[in-house]
Amino acid sequence: MTSTKRISKNIFSLLIGRGSELFVSFISVSLIARYLGVENYGIFTSLTALVFILSKVIDFGFSPIVFRDISRNEKNYEILNTALSIRLVLLFVVFTFYIFASLLLDINRLELFFSSLLFINIILSAKFMNFRELLEVLFKVDLKIYYVMIINLFDVLLLLLLVILMPYISTNLTYLIIVYVLANLPGFLVMLYLLHKKYNYKFRFGFRNYKYLIRESLPLYGSVILTVLFQQVDVLFLRNMDSSFATGIYSAAVRLTMPLGIIPIAIVNTVFPILTRNRDINESQNRLINSMVYKTLFVLAFFAALIVSFKPEPFVRVVFGESYILACTPMVILFWSYLFVFYNNFTMNLLTIYSLQKHNFTFAAITVTLNIIMIILLINNYSYNGTALAKLSAALGGSIFFYIVIRTYKILDTYTNLNMLICCILSFILFYFISFLPFVLYLIIAILIIPVLILKLKILSETEISTILKLLNKEEWIHKLNRI
């Protein structure tokens, strides 16, 4: 298979796989939220947020470095084994400390039991982006991410089946958390089998070259923890400063924005190996790809936020039901925050490629600090709406910092232009007028308007469009688009 075909297959695998996975997860979460009720759903999301934050204590920032080094040497399994070994040791330490701390603080025993079960998911689940994330690296480097997508889809399908059985077995948190963990076990075992069969990989406990790995990853360690705090700390603040009900409403809003997360993941996982290999031999192509990626991410985030902003209620009702209708406002705010989240996500990976990951820690410190300050200022008066505004403000602050860094090191030529501003203004006007139409008709027309505006206003240059189509293995579309 040619390199171009492998790249295009990788992109489609990521988009279709993540899309299918999120669609099935959406159904599961919708049923979970309905079966548990707003308050219990708030407890469930706060517990998963707590364990997710603790899981990043053992992360150490290894994944981007392992991904980078194996992209350079595809047989460098020693660094992968070392990363897995260190995380196993740290997991045992963190879990032991957590149990003792919980007993000393006299934390609710039932919630301690639930969170202890969720610790198992740090190893088994792809959602926790820890052990499974490292194991996925070999597939990513080989541009065979479809194996990962199939396994992850199987995980969420199994969970959906077990959630569907909730009304017939139990609708309490105990049943849910047990199946939430066990649903990942078969997929984890299948991944280990495929790694051995396809790449002759077998985990061997050891710490060879651990000093190198830690030295390279250490600048990322703090940023990883702080980034997760930025993503999850709002849920914990809301649970402790407001109520489980408010946490349930806000968690529903967060969940509704999560499908956007597949976009930067799909793009970054595809271009990361290319940019890494081109860094020293083809910087001009890297500049083209970087500009193209930033523009694409901006356009996708902008139009997604715009579509939701004019008619948020149907999205909430369809997924979570009328009892979660208060999630509309925080959902819209969080959608707009993705304008900056997308930019920040790609920039973090870009700086890693250029060995400038030290700035990722400063970025993460800025966003977390801003987020916590704004939450404290807004949560008492505005509850979940204030929490969403805090995240938007923090993401914007991080983007301003990253813009300064990018300009300082001259990694990227400007990608904004007057046409993008005209497109944004014109889109607001058009979407406002069509928002008076019934929801389905509004959605169809909105989706049709987007590519017309992008092409007519030349948001992407002909070279950038050609590059995208070549990556997608659709060169024959170039002449068709030129005639539009």
Q: How far apart are CA 387 and CA 79, in angstroms?
A: 40
Q: Are 222 and 357 in contact (CB under 8 A)?
A: no
- What confidence score (pLDDT) does residue 45 get? 92
C-alpha–C-alpha distance, residues 224 and 237, integer Å = 19
pLDDT in the model for residue 277: 75
Task: State the DSSP string of 38-107.
Answer: HHHHHHHHHHHHHHHHHHTTTTTTHHHHHHHHHHH-TT-HHHHHHHHHHHHHHHHHHHHHHHHHHHHTT-
pLDDT (0 to 100) of residue 192: 92
Q: How far apart are the first and last CA of the chain?
A: 32
Place of tokens 């707590």: 50
Task: Give the integer Cα–Cα distance in Å for 54 and 70.
Answer: 27
> ∠ at Cα 132 (130, 137), nearest 5°?
100
pLDDT (0 to 100) of residue 214? 86
Q: Give pLDDT, residue 291.
A: 82
Tell which residue, 229, 294, 289, has the closest CA to residue 263.
294
- Within 10 angstroms of residue 380's Cβ, the number of other Cβ atoms is 11
Q: Is residue 99 a contact partner of residue 111, using CB atoms and an 8 Å limit?
A: no
* pTM exceeds cut of 0.75: yes
CA–CA gap between residue 222 and residue 234 (Å, rounded): 18
Q: What pLDDT sits at residue 285?
A: 74
Dihedral sign computed on CA atoms, order 244, 250, 253, 257: negative
- What does the alpha-carbon distance between residue 344 and residue 339 come to, in Å, rounded to a whole number? 9
Q: How far apart are CA 371 and CA 236, in angstroms?
A: 13
Nearest CA to 71 out of 267, 270, 209 is that of: 270
Burial state string for 178-217 with b = 16 or more CB within 10 A and e = fewer than 16: ebbbbbbbebbeebeebbeeebebebeeeeebeeebbebb
- Scanning 200-257, the segments in alpha helix (DSSP H) are 210-241, 244-257
Q: Identify the residue whose tokens are 């995380």.
A: 87
CB 221 within 8 A of CB 86: no
pLDDT on residue 393? 96
**Whole-number Å distance between alpha carbons of 61 and 76:** 18
DSSP state string for 9-43: HHHHHHHHHHHHHHHHHHHHHHHHHHHHHHHHHHH
pLDDT average per 10 residues of sequence, the chain (484 residues): 55 68 87 92 92 88 84 78 92 93 83 92 89 87 80 93 93 92 94 89 86 82 80 89 93 89 74 75 75 87 95 92 94 96 88 82 90 94 95 95 88 72 92 94 94 84 67 54 52
What count of other Cβ atoms lies within 10 Å of the Cβ of residue 100? 10
Closest to 203 measured CA to CA, from 131, 145, 119, 148: 131
